[in-house]
Amino acid sequence: MLLLRRDNTEAPSADLRMFARKEQKMIAEAHRLDHSIIAHREPRLRLAVRDMSVNGMSAFSQQPVQKGEHIGVSFPAEGGQRAWGAYGRVVRCEPSALGYRVAVQFDPLPAA
């Protein structure tokens, strides 16, 4: 991401994430929630999770996903922890040597 200076020139920015991402190695299953033709033809995605934080994740997919698309992600039980799930929105999908690199921002949890 680039920031603009007052003189309208671009300056590289630091990583502006609020929460640190932790490297992960797991396979998660995702379900497309939007009502697009592509989502109906290929409703499920297999995601090779690369890293994760409280509010998002990065993973590789064999299928492209549209920016802005809503997905539900199921994470397997691992290391004594129970399986869990999250809903989110795709913020980036870029071609890579391993398929497509997908970045997902999780939906915020409601306050209790």
In this structure, what token pair is assigned to residue 3?
């920031």
In this structure, what token pair is assigned to residue 95?
């071609």
Range of the domain at 81: 16-106
39 assigned to some structural domain: yes
The CATH number of whichever domain residue 55 belongs to comes to 2.40.10.220
9 assigned to some structural domain: no
112 assigned to some structural domain: no
Q: Per residue in 72-109, pLDDT tens?
A: 999 999 888 899 999 999 999 999 999 999 999 999 87
Across 30-35, average pLDDT: 96
Structural domain count of the chain: 1
4 assigned to some structural domain: no
3 assigned to some structural domain: no
Which pLDDT score is estimated for 24? Answer: 79
Q: Per residue in 40-78, pLDDT tens?
A: 999 999 999 999 998 999 999 999 999 999 999 999 998
